[in-house]
Amino acid sequence: MKKIVYLAVFALLACQSGNQTSQNDNQQQAGMKLITLDDDAMIDSFYDFKMKDIEGNEVDFTQFKGQKVLIVNVASKCGYTPQYEDLQKLNEKHGDKVTILGFPANNFGGQEPGSNEDIKRFCSENYGVTFPMFEKISVKGVDKHPLYRWLSDKNLNGWNNTEPSWNFCKYLVDEEGNLVKFFPSSVNPMDEEILSLIGA
């Protein structure tokens, strides 16, 4: 009887292991990057990040020390896309008080399907965007970029577990690299709450 129980347990464990391997293989075949805690091992603060801008140039986040930073996941075919106009207005009027960083993402409704070049052209031609734009990333799910892991995991940023619920969610980082506020998509970039927090 004991042998039968042992064999049953062994078979169950082998099946679970096989299913996990199969699931990982399927995710990799679908082009997903499995992000593990090891990816964040060297990320102690906001300033440890280095990412490529929309033209492929590496940006070291240490250059943002001493600045307030507003991080926005953007998309070209969303009902909130007109917020680009107000992000640019915020940049032009209060760029001395806050640095805006735009991160194109196709996580919501397939509303950012284009290439980095397509996105760059769209932003320039339709909204005259001059604030920094970065290459397209994922902001949620199994392939979530480590930056958005940091922004939405309280064990990494100190307090916040809220990840983007749609395009044009916003995270405010203070001059010392601390995450201080999350804003949902519905909060306009020129909203009084944002302006008051940046001292505009």
Residues marked as catalytic: 78
Q: Mapping DSSP to helix (H, G, I), strand (E, B) and coil, where does residue 190 land?
A: coil
What SS3 state is found at 46?
helix
**Alpha-carbon torsion, ordered 104, 106, 108, 112, to 10 deg:** 70
Residues recorded for the chain: 200
